[in-house]
Amino acid sequence: MKKQQPQISEDKILEASWELLGEEGIEKFSLRRLADRVGIQAPSLYWYFKSKQDLYQRLANQVSKIILEEFRSEGDWKEQLAGLAVTVRSVLRRYPCSTQLMMLTLPHEPDYIRFTNRSLLCLESTPLEQEQKFQVLLTLLNYVFYFVLDDYQHQRNVSAILEEQGELPNGEMIRLLDSMSESEAGLFRRMYKSGVFELMGTDGAFEFGLKLILSGIEQVIKEQKQEKSNDGIAKPF
């Protein structure tokens, strides 16, 4: 009896891709592993995706669509940018390796383009030049991407250490710091012992970093308004 081919679709392939990314990370991800997961031969995947990069583009597009669906654009530009940053972080944290996918791809898919366009619209009411608005968005998204990526990698590192050693080497770390002089590690030692490094990846740390960025943008806008005001003042002969 001839073996029946498994029923697959683009949606099933994308779903299996997320599962595989969650289990093994993007470093071990391959179309061959993906084909094994959905129960087909690797060449069959090319009926749906031209390459692994094409698949990455589609996954990033899917993430962009979800961000758009969950983003509520209300308030002034600061409130909109803050809401955007919180929404992007929330979605990226739910989809394994989605941060890397967004960084490895370009807005060449419909929802990715819509996401980028909607993000830029948050700044439309500001007096910034177009290139400045684009740079503001890049700065904000890069902050969110790297914050999520850093937290993701930290959790992976912790898991790897726990699996290998059974516990975190906190005692060993403290002994190392205590063996170093004040000039070499004094401030680092005090911060480490007081638990400052445990704040990495927390909501509080994210919100503070976001506040710094938004305050910086606001200051630039104020300075530009002041410069224009000064230019408008008639100079005496």
pLDDT tens readout for residues 53-87: 999 999 999 999 999 999 988 899 999 999 999 99
Mark whether 136 and 76 lie in a shared domain: yes
- The Cα-based distances of 12 to 4, 86, 94, 125, 214 in angstroms read 17, 29, 18, 41, 40
Mark whether 81 and 178 lie in a shared domain: no
| Cα gap 40→104, rounded to integer Å | 26
33, part of any domain: yes
- Choose among 30, 26, 24, 97: nearest CA to 62: 97
| Cα gap 37→196, rounded to integer Å | 42
Spell out the alpha helix ranges (H) of 39-129.
Answer: 52-70, 77-94, 98-104, 110-121
| Cα gap 120→134, rounded to integer Å | 7
40, part of any domain: yes
Domain assignment of residue 40, given as a range: 9-49
Q: Are 147 and 206 in contact (CB under 8 A)?
A: yes
Query: pLDDT tens, position by position, for the chain (237 residues)?
Result: 444 555 788 999 999 999 999 998 999 999 999 999 999 988 889 999 999 999 999 999 999 999 999 998 889 999 999 999 999 999 999 999 999 999 999 999 999 999 999 999 999 999 999 999 999 999 999 999 999 999 988 888 888 787 788 877 788 889 999 999 999 999 999 999 999 988 888 999 999 999 999 999 999 999 988 888 777 665 554
Mark whether 85 and 150 lie in a shared domain: yes
- Choose among 58, 214, 56: nearest CA to 137: 214
- The domain total for the chain is 3
Q: Are 105 and 56 in contact (CB under 8 A)?
A: yes
Name the amino acid, one letter, at 126. Answer: T
Q: What is the pTM of this model?
A: 0.88
215, part of any domain: no
Mark whether 175 and 161 lie in a shared domain: no
Mark whether 104 and 130 lie in a shared domain: yes
134, part of any domain: yes
At 81-110, the pLDDT tens digits run 999 999 999 999 999 999 999 999 999 999
Mark whether 161 and 178 lie in a shared domain: no
- DSSP code of 40? S
